[in-house]
């Protein structure tokens, strides 16, 4: 595993394609957009790279241009506990950035990923000067709160198929993850890491969800066919 400074050392200016993949830029006022584009940096994360580490001061507000990250924490027994996966189009850590406090979680690349970073000073400036940016951040926080409430409920039900179903549905949130579209590019092993199950058990759950017509497992990913049913877990609990 590389250290947490290596991604910072690999930072570079974004390309036009990468700027176009940032969902909140287009809605900014002209002066705000010019400042944001001038200050944004890109890092090419390798598998295992830490984008954020517990206890480190916040320096950037981050987003995923391409690839897959995971948010996790360390348990007292030394094991890692994964909270959520972070796919393309996602921006995260606004709560930490607003409070300007050390990170309370690790963000790690599960595969080679392209990560964008907005310096914390620019983030704070946009909060002070851009109504459009404030709306985006407010929507992010609201959607994320709903996501974690569903995750908590799912964990308490302790049903593996439902856990996989709702974890998949969360990836297709168009506000939090606008870069995913209809096809989530993820392997069964990556999904297993994120939901805390074995790859074999995830395979069983995916087969069940596909038989219900909610998803289709394709080469390189999972395509959602019925997002509402997937999110609600229709037909899953009744079949236990």
152 occurs within a structural domain: no
Q: For residues 85 and 93, what is the distance between their CA atoms, to the nearest angstrom? A: 13
As a whole number, mean pLDDT of residues 167-172 equals 91
CA distances from 32 to 11, 16, 97, 175 (A): 22, 17, 18, 21
pLDDT of 91 over the 90 cut = yes
Q: For residues 146 and 120, what is the distance between their CA atoms, to the nearest angstrom? A: 25
CA distances from 117 to 58, 62, 216 (A): 11, 5, 33
User: In 51-198, where does DSSP find H-type helix?
Assistant: 94-99, 120-129, 131-157, 160-171, 188-195
76 and 182 assigned to the same domain? no
Query: Tokens standing for 47?
Result: 């598998």
Answer for the pair 71, 83: CB distance below 8 angstroms, yes or no.
yes
- Cβ-based burial of 151 (10 A; exposed 0-12, middle 13-18, buried ≥19): middle
The single-letter DSSP state of residue 27 is T
Q: Which residue from 153, 144, 152, 201 is spatially nearest to 173, judged by alpha carbons?
A: 144
151 occurs within a structural domain: no
pLDDT at position 182 is: 86
Order of strands, edge to edge, in the sheet holding 221-224?
183-184, 221-224, 215-218
The proportion of the chain whose per-residue pLDDT surpasses 90, expressed as a percent, equals 66
Domain holding 185: CATH number? 1.10.10.10
pTM: 0.83
SS3 assignment, position 118: strand
Query: Tokens standing for 105?
Result: 């979680």
103 occurs within a structural domain: yes
Report pLDDT digits (tens) over 97-127.
999 999 999 999 999 999 999 999 999 999 9
Band of residue 211 on the pLDDT scale cut at 50, 70, 90: very high
Query: Tokens standing for 127?
Result: 């909060």
187 occurs within a structural domain: yes
Domain holding 97: CATH number? 2.60.120.10
183 and 208 assigned to the same domain? yes
Residue 53: which domain range?
6-142
98 occurs within a structural domain: yes
The proportion of the chain whose per-residue pLDDT surpasses 70, expressed as a percent, equals 92
Number of domains in the chain: 2
Q: For residues 231 and 170, what is the distance between their CA atoms, to the nearest angstrom? A: 8
pLDDT at position 181 is: 86
User: In the chain, where does DSSP find H-type helix?
Assistant: 6-9, 16-20, 30-39, 94-99, 120-129, 131-157, 160-171, 188-195, 199-211, 227-232
CA distances from 90 to 66, 133, 156 (A): 10, 15, 26
The single-letter DSSP state of residue 221 is E
133 and 226 assigned to the same domain? no
């Amino acid at each position: 595993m590389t250290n947490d400074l290596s991604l910072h050392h690999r930072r570079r200016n974004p390309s036009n394609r990468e700027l176009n993949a940032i969902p909140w830029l287009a809605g900014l006022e002209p002066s705000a957009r010019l400042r944001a584009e001038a200050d944004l940096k890109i890092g090419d994360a390798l598998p295992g790279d830490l984008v954020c580490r517990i206890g480190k001061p916040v320096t950037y507000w981050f987003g995923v241009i391409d690839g897959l990250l995971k948010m996790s924490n360390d348990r007292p027994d030394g094991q890692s506990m994964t909270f959520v996966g972070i796919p393309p189009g996602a921006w995260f850590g606004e709560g930490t950035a607003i409070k300007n406090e050390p990170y309370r979680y690790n963000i790690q690349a599960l595969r080679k990923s392209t990560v964008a970073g907005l310096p914390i000073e620019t983030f704070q400036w946009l909060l002070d000067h851009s109504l459009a940016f404030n709306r985006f951040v407010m929507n992010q926080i609201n959607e994320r709160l709903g996501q974690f409430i569903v995750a908590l409920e799912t964990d308490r039900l302790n049903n593996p198929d439902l856990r996989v179903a709702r974890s998949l549905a969360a990836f297709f949130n168009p506000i939090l993850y606008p870069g995913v579209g209809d096809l989530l590019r993820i392997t069964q092993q990556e999904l297993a890491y994120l939901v805390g199950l074995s790859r074999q058990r995830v395979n069983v759950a995916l087969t069940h969800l596909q038989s219900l017509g909610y998803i289709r497992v394709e080469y390189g990913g999972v395509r959602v066919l019925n997002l509402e049913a997937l999110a609600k877990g229709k037909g899953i609990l009744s079949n236990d």
